[in-house]
């Protein structure tokens, strides 16, 4: 686990794959390490790279053999990102995700919980687009300091 | 894309039949279907692969930067879901084909996507209306599948469902904004809906494949799914001041490999690199 904590998300290099919540299980037997991971977004192009990073980090740390297995259930949720990691995101300039909505009806009115600006802390912000530079982010603009910023979407 | 393309898209449906149960009559080409569960999962994968590819065609052509990014994001999610479903289809088939083999090395008649997903993009109104109708169907379908007794299908469905929720929110908002917009945008949205509605019947066909998988624990209450789809769609369309046409006949054929001419063109582009360099990895 200590080794995996050094493997960062290539798109958000301040948090590790463990903090992101995608490492679901790790088993070690005679130098062979089996890691179970779950994808963030189904189309996330970074997943392959993350697998490779996990493999090479463990091999470098002395593992003789590494197996990375992908599972889809339970589906990843941003609720698995811990408090410490949320602070790291904020410090990096990305607003951390709110609580994920549990199912429910599709509504045209978007959630109105304001997303606080990670730069000045103001809650006077507006959503620019639900789709950002990567699958996991939405774009907001702060009305107070006029800074555009990313939000890690809650899913 | 020109209006010409759009017109072509909505008028060139293959033989319209009310059912996908096609009897093998001597002298006619009957569909050559594989094991029902494989066929069923191929449908799930192919819908998302083909629509994802269509959406990706907008990359670099979006009306505004944010929308360009949004469409590329949605394309990525759809292709990601396709990758999971096709990977599973390959495993279930047991002939050593992975998701890439199924995506790049099958010809058009082997594709099982609904016809709606392969229609050319047309204008932005047509693309968004098509996306809206698919998103509404997909959510209803995946909600049902997430609760089914096949663990692998349920897991992928639950995963994709999270993404489909914001896809539908996005496409619904465009449908309302443009439908209840200017005279021009309203007219384009209504025209798109008129052209696309006849392709929605295929989503709810109950044929030999769905009947067979129902016996294997992947039973879907198709009547209930359709009712939920209609309720969802009707609500948004009413807000958008749009109304679906009275189409008596629904287009059919995609589920058994009888496609519009558009699929072949799409596959030619989508499969060209993989076929030019078989076995290459990058």
Q: Tell me what pLDDT residue B4 has.
A: 43
Tell me the CB-side half-sphere exposure of residue B134, using CA atoms within 13 A.
Answer: 29
Residues 32-71 of A with CB under 8 A from B: 39, 41-45, 71
Q: Which stretches of B200-260 are DSSP H helices?
A: 208-214, 222-239
Omega within 30 of 0 (cis) for the link into A74: yes
A132 Cβ under 8 Å from any chain B Cβ: yes
A 10 A CB-CB count for A127 gives 15
From A137, A16, A85, select the one nearest B69 (Cα to Cα).
Answer: A137
pLDDT band at B210 (very low <50, low <70, confident <90, very high): very high
What is the dihedral sign for C-alpha B22, B24, B29, B33? positive
A 10 A CB-CB count for A90 gives 18
Of A110-119, B54-63, B192-201, the one with minimum mean pLDDT is A110-119
B34, pLDDT greater than 50: yes
Comparing B4 with B199, the larger pLDDT belongs to B199
Which residue's structure tokens are 């490779």?
A: A52
Chain A residues whose beta carbon lies within 8 Å of the beta carbon of residue B229: none
Taking the model in full, what pTM does it have?
Answer: 0.88
Q: Tell me what pLDDT residue A111 has.
A: 57
B145, pLDDT greater than 60: yes
Q: Which residue of B has its CA nearest to A100?
A: B162
Q: Which two tokens stand for residue A19?
A: 């903090």
Q: Tell me what pLDDT residue B11 has.
A: 39
From B139, B126, B127, select the one nearest B167 (Cα to Cα).
Answer: B139
Which residue's structure tokens are 């009275």?
A: B246
With a cut of 0.90, is the ipTM above it?
Answer: no
Rounded to an integer, the average pLDDT of B245-271 is 94
At A4-35, the pLDDT tens digits run: 999 998 888 899 999 999 999 999 998 899 99
Under 8 Å between Cβ of B250 and B226:
no
pLDDT band at B168 (very low <50, low <70, confident <90, very high): very high
B163 Cβ under 8 Å from any chain A Cβ: yes
């Amino acid at each position: 686990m200590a080794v995996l904590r050094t493997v960062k998300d290539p798109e958000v290099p301040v948090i590790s794959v463990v903090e992101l919540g995608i490492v679901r299980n790790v088993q070690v037997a005679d130098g062979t390490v089996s890691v179970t991971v779950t994808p963030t977004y189904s189309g996330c192009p970074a997943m392959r790279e993350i697998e490779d990073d996990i493999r090479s980090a463990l091999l470098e740390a002395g593992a003789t053999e590494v197996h990375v297995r992908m599972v889809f259930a339970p589906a990843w949720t941003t609720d698995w990102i811990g408090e410490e990691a949320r602070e790291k995101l904020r410090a990096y300039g990305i607003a951390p995700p709110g609580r994920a909505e549990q199912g429910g009806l599709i509504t045209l009115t978007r959630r109105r919980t304001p997303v606080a600006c990670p730069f000045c802390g103001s809650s006077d912000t507006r959503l620019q687009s639900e789709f950002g530079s990567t699958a996991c982010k939405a774009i907001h603009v702060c009305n107070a300091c006029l800074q555009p910023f990313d939000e890690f979407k809650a899913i | 894309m020109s209006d010409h393309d759009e017109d072509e898209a909505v008028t060139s449906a293959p033989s319209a039949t009310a059912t996908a149960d096609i009897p093998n009559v001597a002298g006619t080409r009957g569909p050559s279907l594989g094991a029902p569960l494989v066929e069923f999962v191929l449908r799930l994968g192919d819908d998302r692969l083909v629509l994802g590819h269509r959406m990706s065609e907008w990359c670099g052509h979006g009306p505004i930067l944010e929308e360009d990014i949004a469409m590329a994001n949605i394309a990525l999610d759809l292709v990601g879901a396709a990758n999971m479903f096709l990977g599973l289809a390959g495993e279930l088939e047991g002939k050593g084909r992975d998701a890439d083999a199924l995506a790049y090395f099958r010809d058009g008649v082997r594709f099982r996507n609904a016809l709606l997903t392969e229609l050319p993009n047309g204008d932005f109104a047509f693309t968004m209306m098509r996306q809206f109708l698919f998103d509404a169907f997909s959510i209803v379908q995946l909600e049902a599948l997430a609760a089914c007794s096949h663990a692998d299908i349920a897991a992928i469905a639950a995963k994709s469902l999270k993404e489909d929720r914001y896809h539908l929110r996005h496409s619904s908002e465009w449908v309302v904004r443009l439908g209840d917009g200017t005279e021009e945008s309203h007219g384009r949205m209504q025209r798109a809906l008129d052209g696309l509605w006849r392709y929605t019947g295929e989503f709810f066909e109950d044929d030999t494949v769905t009947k067979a998988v129902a016996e294997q624990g992947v039973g879907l209450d198709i009547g209930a799914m359709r009712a939920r789809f209609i309720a969802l769609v009707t609500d948004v369309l009413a807000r958008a001041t749009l109304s679906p046409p009275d189409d008596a006949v629904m287009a059919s054929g995609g589920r058994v490999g009888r496609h519009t001419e558009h699929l072949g063109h799409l596959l030619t582009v989508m499969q060209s690199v993989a076929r030019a360099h078989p076995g290459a990895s990058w």
